[in-house]
Amino acid sequence: MRRLSTIDLRLLRIFTTVVDCNGFQKAQMALNIAQSTLSSHIASLEAKLGSKLCDRGRGGFKLTQAGQETYDAIQALLVSIEGFEARMGRVHGNRAQVLRVTTIDTVVTYHEVRLVSAIAAFHDAYPDVAIDLEIASPQSIEQHVAEGRRDIAIGPLAQALPGLQYRSLGTETHSLYCSRSHPWFERDDTTISHADFLSAHFSVRAYRYFDDVYRFGRATANASVSSMEAQEILVLSGKYIGFLPDHAAERWVKMGDMRAVKPKEWTVNSRFFIAHDPSGDLKTIKQAFVQKVISRARATESVSLG
């Protein structure tokens, strides 16, 4: 294996994103690069390391043994790099402490959480702490905190990972939506049957694939998304129906571009949590940020997800 150069750190991060997304298709959306470019990056990394990292043929994406060990080693490396940067900042006094927060898209309109207000209050109390705010996929944010890549996660967390402390922030209601150009838009809800739902072109949330597909019977997934903004785009196309948080869809409903379909029957609830590792660096700062968030949430409680 050749010595890793500076540019290889980017390749390592790209590889971890592919693994976190369980394949190239979702990773290309997360990284905003073409799949051909993504494949070239992984091939370049494999050439530099001297081993095949993953199988990506008709059988789907799967890590090789070398790929799994490489992924695990990269996680440890990234945590070490972040720890080194934080320590050097403290030693030399030339870098602010950084609180790394990760959450999902559309949280800005979720008024049960009031994250904007919490960030403002935290800044007033800790003006010298820099906030690194990341918008990521729901399936990754919890794991990133457990791995030490992020300090705090806010979103629909449900894995109950060991070592993390969870607080419930509220319950988000998701309804089934169609757009103005969809055939259902002008139909009365009483004329839309369960059979209609099962035969419709349905966009599922990839991170809740089985929930979406099986919750109301064995629906057919004709499209999948990794974010709510992507879901909005597909629903607005008029070709798909899909679940959206009511607070995110509200602006489209007010403009007459969307409507909820049978909202008294076809709705699902998603619990929102804030999670962090109460040990390690920045313990006081992490706890202070958590307190700012939960003090502004409309309904909070200590919970055990285990």
Q: How far is CA 4 from CA 16, 78, 156, 259, 286, in A?
A: 16, 14, 37, 53, 34
Q: For residue 104, which phi and psi values (nearest 5 degrees)?
A: -110, 165
Residues 241-294: pLDDT tens digits? 999 999 999 999 999 999 999 999 999 888 899 999 887 678 888 989 999 999
Domain 8-74 -> CATH class: mainly alpha
The pLDDT assigned to 289 comes to 94
pLDDT above 50 (res 36): yes
Model confidence band, residue 132 (pLDDT cutoffs 50, 70, 90): very high
Q: Find all residues with CB under 8 Å of 252, minimum gap 6, and list them.
A: 177, 179, 232, 236, 258
Q: Tell me, what DSSP letter sits at residue 159?
A: S
Question: Is there a shared CATH topology between the 8-74 domain and the 90-166+272-302 domain?
Answer: no
> Residue 26 has which token pair?
């979702």
299: amino acid identity, one letter: A
Round to whole Å and give the CA distance between 9 and 77. Answer: 10
For residue 141, give the nearest of 130, 152, 132, 131 by alpha carbon. Answer: 152
Residues 84-128: pLDDT tens digits? 766 676 676 655 688 999 999 889 899 889 999 999 999 998 888
The pLDDT assigned to 156 comes to 87
How large is the C-alpha radius of gyration of the chain? 21
Domain ranges of the chain: 8-74, 90-166+272-302, 171-270
Q: In the chain, what are the helix, strand and coil shares in percent, each to the nearest 5?
A: 45, 25, 30
Is 135 in contact with 105 (CB distance < 8 Å)? yes
Q: Considering only residues 137 and 253, tell me which one the structure prediction assigns the higher pLDDT.
A: 253
HSE toward the beta carbon, residue 232, CA cutoff 13 A: 15
pLDDT above 80 (res 144): yes
pTM to 2 decimals? Answer: 0.66
pLDDT above 80 (res 301): no
Pairing relationship of beta strands 165-179 and 301-302 according to DSSP bridges: antiparallel
Model confidence band, residue 305 (pLDDT cutoffs 50, 70, 90): very low
Helix axes 35-49, 8-20, angle to 10 degrees: 120
Give me the percent of the chain exceeding a pLDDT of 90.
38
What average pLDDT does the segment 230-236 reach?
95
> Residue 246 has which token pair?
């009511």
Q: What is the CATH number of domain 90-166+272-302?
A: 3.40.190.10
Strand, coil or helix: 244 = strand
Least confident span in 15-19, 162-166, 302-306 = 302-306
Strand, coil or helix: 224 = strand
Q: Find all residues with CB under 8 Å of 18, minimum gap 6, and list them.
A: 24, 27, 38, 42, 54, 61
The pLDDT assigned to 93 comes to 63
Give me the percent of the chain exceeding a pLDDT of 70.
89
Round to whole Å and give the CA distance between 130 and 119. Answer: 11
> Residue 3 has which token pair?
């010595």
Q: How far is CA 203 from CA 124, 192, 224, 225, 228, in A?
A: 42, 18, 5, 7, 11
pLDDT above 90 (res 236): yes
Across the chain, what does the average pLDDT equal? 85
Q: Find all residues with CB under 8 Å of 6, minimum gap 6, and list them.
A: none
Assign domain 171-270 to its CATH architecture: 3-Layer(aba) Sandwich (3.40)
Residues 37-68: pLDDT tens digits? 888 999 999 988 888 999 887 778 889 999 99
Element (H, E) at 40: helix 35-49
Residues 151-192: pLDDT tens digits? 999 998 876 778 888 998 989 999 999 999 999 999 999 999
Q: Considering only residues 6 and 216, tell me which one the structure prediction assigns the higher pLDDT.
A: 216
HSE toward the beta carbon, residue 38, CA cutoff 13 A: 22
Is 46 in contact with 53 (CB distance < 8 Å)? yes
pLDDT above 50 (res 304): no
